[in-house]
Amino acid sequence: MPGTRTHCPYCALQCAMMLNPSPTDADAVTVAGRDFPTNRGGLCKKGWTAAELLVSPDRVLEPLLRQPDGSFEPASWSDALDLVAAKLRGTRAEHGADAVGVFGGGGLTNEKAYQLGKFTRVALGSSRIDYNGRFCMSSAAAAGNRAFGLDRGLPFRVHDLDTADTILILGSNVAQTMPPFIGHLEGARAAGGLVVVDPRRTATARLTDNGAGMHVQPTPGSDLVLLLGLTHLVIAKKLTDQHYLHARTTGFDAVRRSVNQWWPTRVQEHTGVPVWQLRELARRLAAGAARGQATGNGTYILTGRGVEQHVDGTDTATAAINLSLVLGLVGTTHSGYGTLTGQGNGQGGREHGQKCDQLPGYRKISDPAARAHVAGVWSVDPDSLPGVGLPAVELLGALGEPGGIRCLLVHGSNVVVSAPNANRVRAALKTLDFLVVADFFFSETAVLADVVLPVTQWAEEEGTMTSLEGRVIRRRLAVAAPEGVRSELWIWQELARRLDSASTFSAEAGEVFDELCRASAGGLADYSGLSYELLDSEEPAFWPYPAGSTGTPRLFLDRFAHPDGRAHLVAVQARRLGAPAQVDGTLTLITGRLLEHYQSGTQTRRVRELADAQPEARLQLHPATAEQLGIIDEAWVEVSNDRGTVRCRAQVSTDIRFDTVFLPFHFAGDQRANLLTDDETDPVSGMPEFKKTTVRVRALVEA
């Protein structure tokens, strides 16, 4: 039997793989890497072990209904969906349509992301949908829209990085989060031009060793000041690309004035980055930009969640874009700015209508023309479509509140682990009248549900994903799903029918994709020239891909997406400069990822090899800090603040600053890093503060 060409179920690099029939088990498959421009046959250990997800003994295999005594009992699909539909009807009748909320996920296929938005607005009539991508890409997306009029994570191909001789990576540990990606950094490393900005000496920071580049280690949360200071230096030293700024941008004078106050000694004071390193970094970037124009070996600036997951994340990403624009990098054939999307379909998941303010095709739900177009595709009255809903943190904050949400549907998300201030979220979920969770595992959120709906995963279904470079790819069915599970597309079709929806809902992924393409036509993320047939040919398919076109591997070569065709520099300021850490005995907590785990760990904690390698959370802290607190390596520690307490072992390491500690966010129970994080959000994007939290640490056992 031939193997199946598909892609990894996890991160946004979407490495290509073959699923081959297992020689020992007729119902199973084995994974092999497949040659593709992004991964060139390589996979990380998450990808290599992904087939284990399909045969996990932890799968939920039939609908489960909570009983009066709190236990779960299996039920038929018919009974489960009848109950859900009755509760949805009852909630709407008693409290109004907005009393039903929907929480989606950035791992859902494009078809599901699209259909979930349609289901919420048409079948439920609710405005209250948002998704976990709000915790991931929202700040970078807001900054991209602000500056370019369009947000596509990488507006160029991943393998375009191969020819760069200067790459600045801010706040992303790609060597652990997407290991095959680092092959694309080799050109810059060979030229000594890889620069990594991270408070920790991560695996990615170590790639700069031995003359390959430079590691810059700022105080957590000071990235915005660092970027303002670099922009100041580039302007002050007259290293800007004046021809580019004049021909292709607006707003330079305002940005020039806004960075005036960020002279190097002041930036050093607030970031801890020495003046010599600031000057050297500005010089390298400007030299790289100039060299790129002459040689075509470009300069790229890439941001990740480390600088974006802050309450000033949008402004920080905007400052990174401003720096890219004053250097003349964006919209050229050889250089650029990009943001490294994390979740598997973090890109597609934010294009098709899962966001509270968007309709398919990246259209604004408040735009009458957009509403009319999409309503036409859905065969409904535009006036029947609800307006802007609530971004994720506000949506979760409305659970159980007066006038808030009484009934919640969760698809592809595990908010009890992944949302900030997790204790509050868990308590709020318990106040709901009715909670429905669709998942393939019994996640920490599913445990709280009234109804658990078991769904197909990854290799058990057809669909498409859109990777971090805006490439639309096919996810293919390789194995039959267990008998008792169903696709979400089927579930929404069945619920819509029970709710007498005004529009029809297909359960066939190909039909949904065709409809998605029609709905996206004329929008910013235009898929109208795409089809499964074209994608199956494996021709590169980068959106925008309007009908009659061949797609857009590199964006903005001729014009930006604003009506004036220009990129907009936007002056931003550092609103929080923060007291130096440890003045009152506290430390700054950063949260992040490990090589072995993905997102809330619902999947990877169930893969034996990954769980054996990283079975539990460990708090990384500096030896000097550990000594001061009487903590030795592997000892149990308590990390706490007024939101919660985490208990875990210590990992003593010189890879972290003395004033900072690090916790991975993949673990459950009292090892949830998000027990500690704050649900204050960025006023533009709604991004919570995940990367700068004040905590106290103490030894649980005397050293």
Which residue ranges make up the site for ligand SF4 (CB under 6 A)? 8, 10-11, 13-15, 39, 43-44, 46-47, 178-180
The residue (of 171 and 179) whose beta carbon lies closer to ligand SF4 is: 179
Nearer to ligand SF4, 44 or 374 (CB): 44
Strands (E), 320-400: 336-339, 358-359, 363-364
Cβ-based nearer residue to ligand SF4, 10 or 119: 10
Taking every pair of Cα atoms in the chain, the longest distance, rounded to a whole number of angstroms, is: 73
Task: Check: CB of residue 569 under 8 Å from CB of residue 560.
Answer: no
Give CA–CA dist 408/585, Å, rounded: 41
Closer of 165 and 461 to ligand SF4 (Cβ): 461
Q: Are β-strands 407-411 and 213-216 bridged in parallel, bridged antiparallel, or unpaired?
A: unpaired
CA separation for the pair 125, 96 (Å, rounded): 9
- Collapse the DSSP code of 342 into the 3-class scheme (helix H, G, I; strand E, B; otherwise coil) and give the result: coil
Dihedral of CA atoms 39, 8, 470, 415 in degrees, nearest 10, equals: -130
| Least distance between ligand SF4 and beta carbon 106 (Å) | 13
Cα 576 to the center of its chain, rounded Å: 24
Beta strand residue intervals within 384-513, DSSP E: 407-411, 434-439, 451-454, 463-466, 472-475
- Nearest approach, Cβ of residue 346 and ligand SF4 (Å): 12
CA–CA dist 19, 276 (Å, integer): 51
Dist CA 615 CA 613 (whole Å):
6
Of the pair 355, 593, the CB lying nearest ligand SF4 is at: 593
* Nearest-approach distance from CB 44 to ligand SF4, in angstroms: 3
In angstroms, the first-to-last Cα distance of the chain is: 59
Where do we find the tokens 């971090």? 468
**Closest separation between CB of residue 456 and ligand SF4, Å?**
19
Distance in Å, CB of 461 to ligand SF4, minimum: 18
Is the Cβ–Cβ distance between 283 and 111 less than 8 Å? no
Name 347's Cβ contacts closer than 8 Å, sequence gap at least 6. 12, 137, 152, 153, 341, 466, 467, 468, 470
CB of 478 to ligand SF4, least distance (A): 16
b/e 141-151 (16+ beta carbons within 10 angstroms → b): bbbbbbbbbbb
Report the C-alpha gap between 660 and 656 in whole angstroms. Answer: 7
**Cα–Cα distance measured from residue 440 to residue 452, given in angstroms and rounded to the nearest whole number:** 9
Smallest separation, CB 649 to ligand SF4 (Å): 25
Strand extents, DSSP E, 531-659 = 567-568, 587-592, 618-621, 636-641, 644-652
When the beta carbons of 85 and 178 are compared against ligand SF4, the nearer one is 178
Write the secondary structure of 194-233 as one string of H (helix), E (strand) and C (coil).
Answer: EEEECCCCCHHHHCCCCCCEEEECCCCCCHHHHHHHHHHH
| Rounded distance between C-alpha atoms, residue 552 and residue 325, angstroms | 21
- Closer to ligand SF4 at the Cβ: 42 or 361? 42
Judged by beta carbon, residue 378 or residue 598, the one nearer ligand SF4 is: 598
CB of 34 to ligand SF4, least distance (A): 11
Q: Which is nearer to ligand SF4, 123 or 178 (CB)?
A: 178
* Distance in Å, CB of 105 to ligand SF4, minimum: 16
Instruction: Extract the tokens encoding 535.
Output: 């994608």
Q: Which residue is nearest to ligand SF4 (CB)?
A: 47
- What's the min distance (Å) between Cβ of 508 and ligand SF4? 26
Strand pairing category for 567-568 and 249-250: parallel
Residues 6+ apart with CB under 8 A from 142: 151, 314, 317, 682, 684, 685
Q: Which is nearer to ligand SF4, 43 or 140 (CB)?
A: 43
Q: How far is the CB of 11 from ligand SF4 (least distance, A)?
A: 3
Q: Which is nearer to ligand SF4, 150 or 178 (CB)?
A: 178
Beta bridge partners of 17: 6, 33
Q: Looking at beta carbons only, is 37 or 90 nearer to ligand SF4?
A: 37
Give the nearest distance from C-beta 366 to ligand SF4 in angstroms. Answer: 35
Q: What minimum distance in Å lies between the beta carbon of 50 and ligand SF4? A: 7
Taking the least distance from each CB to ligand SF4, the nearer of 15 and 321 is 15
Q: Which two tokens stand for residue 471?
A: 């490439």
**How many CA atoms are closer than 13 Å to the CA of 382, on its beta-carbon side?**
12
Comparison of 8 and 278: residue with beta carbon closer to ligand SF4: 8
Smaller CB distance to ligand SF4: residue 14 or 332? Answer: 14
Tokens of residue 578, six digits = 């923060």
Question: 177 has which bridge partners?
Answer: none
* Residue 137 C-beta: closest distance to ligand SF4, Å: 16
CB nearer to ligand SF4: pick between 13 and 285: 13
3-state secondary structure of 662: strand
Nearer to ligand SF4, 30 or 641 (CB): 30
CB nearer to ligand SF4: pick between 11 and 453: 11
C-alpha distance from residue 291 to each of 232, 295, 299 (Å) = 21, 6, 9
Q: How far is the CB of 184 from ligand SF4 (least distance, A)?
A: 12
For the bound state, the minimum distance from the C-beta of residue 174 to ligand SF4, rounded and expressed in Å, comes to: 9
The amino acid that residue 496 corresponds to is: A
Shortest CB 14 distance to ligand SF4, Å = 5
**Min CB(459)–ligand SF4 separation in Å:** 13
**CA distances, 496 to each of 94, 124, 164, 454, 488 (Å):** 19, 8, 50, 18, 12
Using the Cα atoms of residue 616, residue 621, residue 626 and residue 629 in order, give the sign of their dihedral. negative
